[in-house]
Amino acid sequence: MNARAEAHLSALSPAAALTALRETSPLVQCITNSVVTNYTANALLAVGAAPAMCDIPGEAGLFAGVADGVLVNLGTPTAEQREAAREAVRAGTPWVLDPVAVGVLPVRTALAAELLEHRPAIIRGNASEILALAGGGGGGRGVDATDGTDAAAGAARSLALRTGGVVAVSGPVDLVTDGERVVRIPGGDALLTRVTGGGCSLGAVMAALVGVCAPFEAAVAASVLYAVASELAAARAEGPGTFGVALLDALDAVAAAPAELDARVADVLAIR
Q: Which residues contribute to the annotated binding site for substrate? A: 53, 197
CA distance 228 to 254: 8
Do 204 and 218 meet the contact criterion of CB atoms below 8 Å apart?
Answer: no
Binding-site annotation: residue ranges for ATP: 124, 170
CA distance 124 to 263: 23
Whole-Å CA distances, 22 to 17, 50, 149, 256? 9, 10, 31, 8
Neighbours of 162 (CB within 10 A): 13
Angle at CA of residue 72, ends 97 and 185, nearest 5°: 40
Do 49 and 26 meet the contact criterion of CB atoms below 8 Å apart?
Answer: yes
Do 125 and 166 meet the contact criterion of CB atoms below 8 Å apart?
Answer: no
Local structure of 163: helix, strand or coil: helix
Strands of the sheet containing 27-31, edge to edge, are 50-52, 27-31, 69-73, 95-98, 122-126, 166-170, 173-177, 182-186
Binding-site annotation: residue ranges: 53, 124, 170, 197
